[in-house]
Amino acid sequence: MTGSTRYVLRGVAPLGGEPTDLLLADGIIAAIGTDAVRAALDTDVSDRARGMAHAGSDTEAVEIDGAGLVALPGLVDLHTHLREPGREDAETVASGTRAAALGGFTAVHAMANTTPVADTAGVVEQVWRLGQDAGWVDVHPVGAVSVALAGEHLAELGAMAASAARVRVFSDDGKCIADPVLMRRALEYVKAFDGVIAQHAQEPRLTADAQMHEGIVSAELGLTGWPAVAEEAIIARDVLLAEHVGSRLHVCHLSTAGSVDLVRWAKARGIDVTAEVTPHHLLLTDELARGYDPVYKVNPPLRTAADVEAVRAGLADGTIDIVATDHAPHTREDKDCEWAAAAAGMTGLETALSVVQQTMVDTGRLTWADVARVMSSAPAAIGRITGGDRPQGRPITVGEPANLTLVDPAARWTVVPEVQATASANSPFRGRELPGRVVATFLRGRATVLAGQAVPQADAGSPGAAGSAYPTTARNA
């Protein structure tokens, strides 16, 4: 079901390259290049003059002035907490996916730690349908590895893989699969359907009651430490397990310099491991805990400046494959309290691309083509969603699905969590000025975001809603 509105994107720069024109029609990228787009439009006019208007092109093409805008393939998040079912007070599939669209995403993987846990085909299909109904992005449920995330018995991974949701990513995220035998079995079992185990690497005994990164700041603040070794020890174990059983491992939200070294070593050894880093671990450090503001409480915790530098370097050299948000909305009451009582987690869907631009692009460490890789094609490949009936993470070439994000890299904006689309306000970037705005997002040719504003689904096909060119200052307030 594709939008009937056709869009002509004038003068956009695919992957930051030479500006050109793109025609989006019938859900695909129909033409690229000024001449090709003109020719396609002319053909269409002459067709219509002869009464041969074809489906999906019964309206005028909507022109978007894309001067200065970078066109990226629609972003894919491998790590999103949408909270539904169970914690609809923090986020719903509808609110979270609208936030995702505003952040430039066209697909998200919804983590399994809901209530009930997404450990059966029934729950993952429910989340999958909620995503379809919301229509903002493709929602790919992540299945729990163990029943109720308890780390004891394998959940019905096969049933989830075979369900309508076609689950390929399995994770107990929020909890570590600490039992090495369970981890081994899970790694082996998912080979049958090309699945991947996405591990939340946190040795539980080393992190009992842990509140923040263990180091100079935790010693001073008297907050129980979460040592880097608790993450690194699990990663070391897991890459060796993955090698032993010949399976595929994904490391969630890698946060320490030592973890980068371990993944680098594993890849050099030929182990089939991928790794992600979050935007907040690319920018923020444990120094922020000094004010005891629980908005900076997150798991794994914010690390040191040396770790931030290491994960940036790891992302730049390809050791870290992707950026994933770990968008973790929490209600005000879960953050409006003393640090130890607060929930861990930060929102991130609507700030991810800006943080990546600031930390990686504006610093010269990644090109926009690299951003397309680490935020679209690589996560789509890990999640095995580059094919099928709703492919994601595809190149910007003619005939590919029109999943696109237009970003204005020259824009600057100040984060105001209360005006974000996510239902929660626990953004650690509150008050920060960030570079880069998502101007438009297209999901299979249908605009979900235009002029930096979410386009309600019912209006998505209406040209009236889409006619305005992007005003550079529209969302800078």
> Residues with catalytic annotation?
326
Inter-residue contact 277 to 320 (CB < 8 Å)? yes
Query: Smaller CB distance to other proteins: residue 48 or 332?
Result: 332
CB of 221 vs other proteins, minimal distance in Å: 6
Residue 161, CA distances (Å) to 118, 129, 416 in order:
12, 15, 39
Query: Smaller CB distance to other proteins: residue 265 or 339?
Result: 339
Give the CA-trace dihedral at 156, 161, 163, 165, to 10 degrees. Answer: 120
CA–CA separation, 325 and 253 (whole Å): 8
Triad 116, 192, 78: Cα angle to 5°: 50
CB of 334 vs other proteins, minimal distance in Å: 10
The stretch near other proteins (CB under 8 A) out of 45-53, 151-159, 214-222, 371-379 is 214-222
Stretch 217-236: interaction string toward other proteins, x if CB under 8 A: xxxxxxxxx-x---------
Restricting to residues 334-393, which ones interact with other proteins according to CB under 8 A? 336-341
Burial group, residue 380, by CB count within 10 angstroms (0-12, 13-18, 19+): buried
CA–CA separation, 206 and 197 (whole Å): 22
User: Which listed residue (119, 172, 214, 408) binds other proteins by CB under 8 A?
Assistant: 214
CB of 160 vs other proteins, minimal distance in Å: 33
The stretch near other proteins (CB under 8 A) out of 54-62, 208-216, 231-239, 460-468 is 208-216
| Side-chain half-sphere exposure of 74, counting CA atoms within 13 A | 34
CA–CA separation, 119 and 171 (whole Å): 10
CB of 15 vs other proteins, minimal distance in Å: 43
178: contact with other proteins by CB under 8 A? no
Per-residue burial over 291-311, b = 16 or more CB atoms within 10 Å of its CB, e = otherwise: eeebbbbbbbbbbbeebbebb
The stretch near other proteins (CB under 8 A) out of 143-151, 162-170, 213-221, 451-459 is 213-221
The stretch near other proteins (CB under 8 A) out of 20-28, 118-126, 205-213, 461-469 is 205-213
Query: Smaller CB distance to other proteins: residue 158 or 215?
Result: 215
Stretch 244-283: interaction string toward other proteins, x if CB under 8 A: ----------------------------------------
CA–CA separation, 172 and 202 (whole Å): 11
Residue 223, CA distances (Å) to 149, 219, 338 in order:
26, 7, 12
What residues make contact with other proteins under the rule CB under 8 A? 205, 208, 211, 214-225, 227, 291-292, 333, 336-341
